[in-house]
Amino acid sequence: MVKSLHVILSDTIKMKEAQPDTDLVLDLMHRIADAHRSSPNARLTWLFHMAQRHNENEGHAEAAMCMIHGSAIVAEYMSIFESKPYFPKGAVAFENISPNALEESLHFEDGLSIEEGGLGKYFTESGLVGLLELAATSFFQ
């Protein structure tokens, strides 16, 4: 945890210094998002930041992949906390779109629940649909 915190803080500082270098900023954002693997809401926030940056630079396919990863995170939690027969069965449901989506499988602390307010507004059925719509929009740009 201390190592993750160090990565987050040092990369955030480096990111501010590297603003003109889009590729470096995106690499740092990716490292920060990875450091938040055990915090789904924070990871999703960084994936949103990355998607926005990619869209600003005409990297629409990359932005879409960020939203696919976000969708995989939400699907993983929804399959545990609000399993319904028509929901995706976790991150594995996105494997055919991106094999890397499996990275989002079960990275949470025991005891975390939606009811405790541990997760944000996207961790709902409508939130998942919204993320998938954002991904589709980016794919088609």
Q: What are phi and psi of 136, to 5 degrees?
A: -60, -40
Identify which of 51, 13, 46 has the alpha carbon closest to the alpha carbon of residue 32: 46
Position of tokens 């990297």? 59
Domain 38-139 is found in CATH 3.30.70.3000: no
The single-letter code of the amino acid at 53 is R
Q: Where are the domains of the chain?
A: 1-35, 38-139
pLDDT mean values, one per 10 residues, the chain (141 residues): 61 66 87 86 93 95 97 91 86 94 72 56 92 96 88
Predicted local confidence at residue 61, as pLDDT? 96
DSSP string, 66-113: HHHHHHHHHHHHHHHHS--TTS--SGGGGTTT-GGGGGGTT-S-TT--
Predicted local confidence at residue 110, as pLDDT? 47
Predicted local confidence at residue 15, as pLDDT? 60
Quick check: pTM over 0.85? no
